[in-house]
Amino acid sequence: MRMSVMNNYKRFTAPIFQQLSKHADEKPVSFHVPGHRYGEAWKQHGHNHNNGLLEREAADRFGRLLPIDVTELSTTDDLHAPEGVIAEAQRLAAAMYGADETMLLVGGSTAGNIAMILAACEPGDTIIVQRNVHKSVINGLRMAGAKAVFVRPSYEASDGTAIIPRLGDIENALKQYPEAKAVLLSTPNYYGYATSINLYAELAHRHGVPLLVDEAHGAHYGLHEAFPHSALSQGADAVVQSTHKTLPAMTMGAMLHVRRGRIDMERLREMLTMVQSSSPSYPIMASLDIARAMAESAGGLMFESGLAAAERIRGHLYSRAGRLSIGDNRLKEESMIASMPIRQQGERKQQSLPLNNKHEMKVRQDPLRIVIRDRLSLVSGYELQRMLESHGCWAEMADERRVLLIVGPFISDEDTARFIAACEAIEKELNNREQPEQKSESFANIYGEGEELLAVSEPVPFSLHRINRDLIDTLPLQEATGCRSAETVIPYPPGIPLVYAGETITAGIVTELESLSARGAKVQGAANPKLQTIRIIRS
């Protein structure tokens, strides 16, 4: 749905929170889990006269939250069989987002992505998957024992950022593998580039399969006219959103929105009970309920301060034309064709794009995402991030070239001014530095040019079986080109694997890993976190 910026505040209704508050106000005596007994255990220990300031502070900080941290009681409902306030909260969320059903998630979008895949695939089934997906998708494929046909991403034209594959590539994958059970895409990407997916939904439906979308970073989409449209409103069948990322829910709070018809709802609910705790967090569920109520109550007004703050930051850096520059944020929908060449299986020479691969890809930039870089490319994004932190401003993430900011709702003028002051101080420091002779390296194209990587891969089997340790060797990274990786290397954030276990290591992957190592990036899954070596499968 779309809400008008001029909405007046509506009645605030948050059934889970209201029931938890009512229960706490009745001063209940706990003879049930959790062991803190509505926070009484913390309070009594923390305020013991023998305890110090830290213990009292711990009791005070958590004491305000613990009275609503309860379990499944007769009045608080059950996430895995909702009939009361949780069922009502999910109904309200579904109505706001335009879903047939919405499920609250207390395990983040990770739980939703895994459950979608498990619901769609039996062991050995094939699924069409965008190549650059979050690690939770890969874990879902492993748990399902599915075979993934990876489709190479396309690239946003102005900045070279990977976005969803071309429509023609997805169509070719569906034609080559008609047995596929679903198509899974991830949009927007971490940098806020959202691609319209209505044609992708139509394509999947023509082939009789559902479109699953990891929309973790788009929980606010459709709630203000400045934002891109949501995947659900464009025809997706199941959409996962991390409500905690861009709406004021607690960390790990997410939602799964579903349209009935192409999704096995009974199996989806069953899979959610498998991947989520049997003792879900009521504070997280209540925060999801509150975040939805806030968005519904305030409407587009909820985001006005954030939009104004983002525009103020951009305007300041644009006007100065100093060392810090702003990425090209698109506030209006644009039509564009990604620049990546395509090669189909069996083709040895580059062919011109088929007509069905020349459709206009409508890409919008989330205005609440700001990308900042050194205009002279002399300082990496990682260093800029550290410099911002030294001024008390903590960014969402950094890569070799850029720092990514996410501007949340209800941000104050004071916080905005503090960030601008930090930028001014950083520019002054950079201008006083002696400049190095070489510029910061640009991104390597890890997904392959021309002959390195087909647009549509052969089916890649996933399982929970371990690689035989007797077949694993460790090589210097520079010597690993052409070998099959024995580990999955994941820069975090954003949590998108650069190389999967069992995948052939290309020269582009080696270059990118070397660059990450030089910049001190944090990675998961690598036996050598410094990335000086990598484990490979001996042939």
Which is it for the CA torsion 101, 107, 108, 109, positive or negative? Answer: negative
* CATH 3.10.330.10, domain 85-298, yes or no: no
Span 507-521, average pLDDT: 84
Per the model's pLDDT, the better-predicted residue between 340 and 93 turns out to be 93
Listed range (128-137, 192-201, 407-416, 516-525) with the worst mean pLDDT: 516-525
CATH no. of 302-431 = 3.90.1150.10
Assigned architecture for domain 466-537: Alpha-Beta Complex (3.90)
Say whether pLDDT at 170 is over 90.
Answer: yes
Mean pLDDT of all residues belonging to the chain: 87
Tokens representing 109 are: 């979008």
Query: What's the pLDDT score for residue 9?
Result: 61
DSSP-based three-state secondary structure for 411: coil
* CATH 3.90.100.10 location in the chain: 466-537
Cα–Cα distances in angstroms (integers) from residue 257 to residues 139, 144, 239, 263, 509, in the given order: 21, 21, 5, 11, 35
Task: Name the pTM for this structure.
Answer: 0.86
Listed range (56-60, 389-393, 449-453) with the worst mean pLDDT: 449-453
H or E segment and range at residue 431 = helix 413-431
* CATH 3.90.1150.10 location in the chain: 302-431
Listed range (162-171, 235-244, 298-307, 441-450) with the worst mean pLDDT: 441-450
Question: What tens digit of pLDDT does each residue of 218-242 get?
Answer: 999 999 999 999 999 999 999 999 9
Query: What's the pLDDT score for residue 493?
Result: 67
Burial zone of 262 (CB within 10 Å; 0-12 exposed, 13-18 middle, 19+ buried) = middle
Is the Cβ–Cβ distance between 232 and 197 less than 8 Å? no
Q: Is the peptide bond between 82 and the residue preceding it cis, with omega within 30 degrees of 0?
A: no
* CATH 3.40.640.10 location in the chain: 85-298
315-324 long-range Cβ contacts below 8 angstroms, 24+ apart:
316/420, 316/423, 317/372, 317/423, 320/427, 322/375, 322/427, 322/431, 323/374, 323/375, 323/376, 323/379, 323/426, 323/427, 323/430, 323/431, 324/372, 324/373, 324/374, 324/375, 324/384, 324/423, 324/426, 324/427
**Which residues pair with residue 212 across a beta bridge?**
184, 238
pLDDT band at 436; cut points 50, 70, 90? low
Question: What tens digit of pLDDT does each residue of 69-111 get?
Answer: 999 999 999 999 999 999 999 999 999 999 999 999 999 999 9
Which residue, among 468, 458, 464, has the nearest Cα to 504 in the 3D structure?
458
**Using CA atoms, how far apart are residues 131 and 453, in angstroms rounded to an integer?**
11
Say whether pLDDT at 5 is over 50.
Answer: no
Buried b (16+ CB within 10 A) or exposed e, 441-451: bebbbbbbeee
Say whether pLDDT at 336 is over 60.
Answer: no
Query: What's the pLDDT score for residue 57?
Result: 84
